[in-house]
């Protein structure tokens, strides 16, 4: 079951209120997105930890509602 882009964006904005967020819908099916997130929350963390924060923001939906989310994360 896909996730609308607006829902994905609102989950991410809720978790990273300071962030610059850009989301691309890669396949037009609501199931393959690419998100670039720049947030101070990522400062000093290894990439694995940064991405784990994003997955946590999605509250377990990754792998369920959402099949593929390509992530690019960085601190400002």
Partner 1 sequence: MTETTEAPGAHDFIAKTVADNEVVLFMKGEPDQPGCGFSAIVVQILDHLGVDFAGVNVLESDSLRQGIKSWSDWPTIPQLYVKGEFVGGCDIVREMFQSGELKTLLAEKGLLSN
Interface contacts to partner 1, rule CB under 8 A: 47-48, 51-52, 55, 60, 62-63, 68, 70-72
Sign for the CA dihedral angle at 36, 42, 47, 50 comes to: negative
Least distance from partner 1 to the Cβ atom of residue 64, Å:
9
Q: Which of 13, 61 has the CB closer to partner 1? A: 61
Q: Which of 17, 60 has the CB closer to partner 1? A: 60
Q: Which of 41, 51 has the CB closer to partner 1? A: 51
Give CA torsion, residues 8, 14, 15, 16, to 10 deg: 100
- Cα gap 43→41, rounded to integer Å: 6
């Amino acid at each position: 079951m896909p996730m609308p882009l607006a829902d994905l964006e609102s989950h991410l904005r809720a978790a990273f209120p300071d962030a610059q967020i850009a989301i691309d819908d890669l396949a037009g099916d609501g199931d393959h997105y690419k998100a670039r997130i720049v947030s101070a929350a990522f400062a000093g963390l290894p990439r694995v930890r940064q991405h784990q924060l994003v997955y946590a923001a999605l509250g377990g939906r990754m792998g369920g509602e959402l099949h593929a989310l390509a992530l690019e994360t960085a601190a400002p």
